[in-house]
Chain A
Amino acid sequence: MPYTPHTKDEIELMLQTIGIKSEEELFSSVPSNLRVDSLDIEDGLDEYTTFEKFKALASKNVTDKTIFLGGGYYDHIVPSAVDALSSRAEFYTAYTPYQAEASQGTLQVLYEYQSLVCKLTGMDVSNASMYDGATALAEAALMAVRISKKNKILIDAGVNPTYIKVVQTYLSFREIEVEIVDLKGDISDFETIESKIDDSVAGYLFQNPNFLGSIASFEKIIEKLHEKGALAVSSVYAVSLGVLKEPSSMGVDIVTADGQCLGNYLSFGGPSFGLIATKQEYIRDLPGRIIGKTVDRDGKEMFVLTMQAREQHIRRHRATSNICSNQNLLALRSTIYLSLLGKEGFVELANSCHSKSEYLKENLSKIKGVEIFNSSTTFSEFVIKTPCDASDILEAMSSRGIYAGINLGNLFEGFENAILVSVTEKRTKEQMDNYVENLIEVLGGEA
Chain B
Amino acid sequence: MSVLTIFDKSQNGRKGIALPKLDVPRLEIPKEFKREQKAQLPELSEFDVVRHFTNLSSKNFAIDKNFYPLGSCTMKYNPKIAEKVAGLDGFISLHPHLVTNQMGEEVQGTLEVVDLLEQKLCAVTGMSAFTTTPQAGAHGEMLGIMMIHKYHESRNDKRKYVIVPDSSHGTNPATAAMVGYEVITIKSDENGAMDFEEFKAKMSDEVAAVMLTVPNTLGIYNKKIKEICTLAHEYGAMMYYDGANMNAIMGVARPGDIGFDVIHINVHKTFATPHGGGGPGSGPVGVNEKLKPFLPDLGVKKVDGKYEFTNGGSNSIGKISPFFGNYGISLRALVYMTVLGGNGMKNASSKAVLNANYIRVKLKDYFDMPFDTMCMHECVLSAKTLAKEHKVTAMDIAKYLLDFGMHAPTVYFPLIVKEAIMIEPTETENKQTIDEFCQKMIDAVNLAKEDAEAFREYPKTLGVSRPDDTRAIKELDVCFNC
Contacts and interface: CB of A to CB of B under 8 A. Distances in A.
A317 B169 CA distance: 11
Nearest to B317: A169
Contacts of B221: 27, 29-30
A261 interface: no
B390 to A, nearest CB: 20
B478 A306 contact: yes
Contacts of A297: 465-466, 468
Nearest to B462: A101
Given A94-B61, A135-B135, A426-B20, A271 B326 contact: yes
Interface string B350-364: 110111011011100
B24 A355 contact: yes
Contacts of A359: 24-25
Contacts of A169: 146, 296, 317-320
Contact of B176 (A58, A71, A100, A317): A317
B479 A89 contact: no
Interface string B454-482: 00000100111111110111011111111
A43 B343 contact: yes
B274 A93 contact: yes
Contacts of B313: none
Given A5-B428, A135-B135, A265-B93, A270 B327 contact: yes
A269 B105 CA distance: 17
Interface stretch (B48-56, B199-207, B232-240, B380-388): B48-56
Nearest to B40: A119
Contacts of B107: 61-62, 268
B277 A328 contact: yes
B174 interface: yes
Contacts of B275: 93-96, 325
Contacts of B299: none
Contacts of B44: 339-340, 342
Contacts of A321: 174, 178
B85 A54 contact: yes
Given A271-B326, A312-B171, A94 B459 contact: no
Given A34-B257, A60-B108, A19 B361 contact: yes
Interface string B323-350: 1111111000001011111111111101
Contacts of A30: 221, 249, 252-253
Contacts of B341: 41-45
A155 interface: no
Contacts of B127: none
Given A61-B94, A265-B93, A300 B225 contact: no
Contacts of B251: 36, 38-39
Nearest to A432: B24
Given A90-B64, A244-B29, A342 B42 contact: yes
Contacts of B407: 95, 99, 102
Nearest to A14: B358
A267 B328 contact: yes
A75 B109 CA distance: 20
Interface string A231-269: 000000000011111100100000000000000011111
Contacts of A116: 41
Contacts of A346: 38-39, 41
B161 to A, nearest CB: 11
Interface in B406-452: 407-408, 410, 427-431
Nearest to A73: B96
A377 B30 CA distance: 8
Size range of the chain B interface in the assembly? 35 or more
A384 interface: no
Interface string B57-76: 11111111110101001011
Contacts of B287: none
A118 to B, nearest CB: 5
Interface in B1-55: 1-3, 5-7, 10, 13-17, 19-20, 22-30, 32-36, 38-44, 46, 49-50, 52-54
B95 A73 contact: yes
A209 B362 CA distance: 61
Given A71-B100, A339-B44, A322 B50 contact: no
A292 interface: yes
Contacts of B58: 90, 105
Contact of B75 (A56, A95, A268): A95
Interface in A394-430: 394, 398, 403, 406-407, 410-411, 425-426, 428-429
A299 interface: yes
B32 to A, nearest CB: 6
B278 A289 contact: yes
Interface string A1-35: 11111100011011101110001001111110111
B285 interface: no
A57 B277 contact: no
B480 A112 contact: yes
Given A118-B482, A406-B97, A131 B62 contact: no
A301 B2 contact: yes
Interface string A270-305: 110100000000010000011111111111111110
A28 B374 contact: yes
Interface string A75-100: 10101010011011111111111111
Interface stretch (A158-166, A177-185, A366-374): A158-166
B457 to A, nearest CB: 9
Chain A CB within 10 Å, residue with most, of B98, B297, B350, B376: B98
A343 B40 contact: yes
A411 B348 CA distance: 45
A185 B291 CA distance: 41
A207 to B, nearest CB: 14
A245 B322 contact: no
A355 B390 CA distance: 70
B157 interface: no
Contacts of B142: 322
B282 to A, nearest CB: 8
B123 interface: yes
A59 interface: yes
A265 B328 CA distance: 10
A411 B297 CA distance: 14
Contacts of B357: 18, 26
B482 A115 contact: yes
* 5 closest A-B pairs by CB: A329-B276, A58-B90, A44-B341, A269-B96, A328-B278
23 contacts: A3-B79, A14-B355, A29-B223, A44-B343, A57-B110, A58-B109, A69-B95, A77-B19, A79-B17, A81-B16, A93-B63, A169-B296, A172-B318, A245-B34, A271-B329, A294-B467, A300-B3, A312-B171, A323-B138, A328-B276, A341-B16, A343-B40, A345-B41
Given A29-B374, A95-B275, A101-B462, 7 more contacts: A17-B362, A29-B220, A51-B85, A75-B95, A126-B478, A355-B27, A428-B20
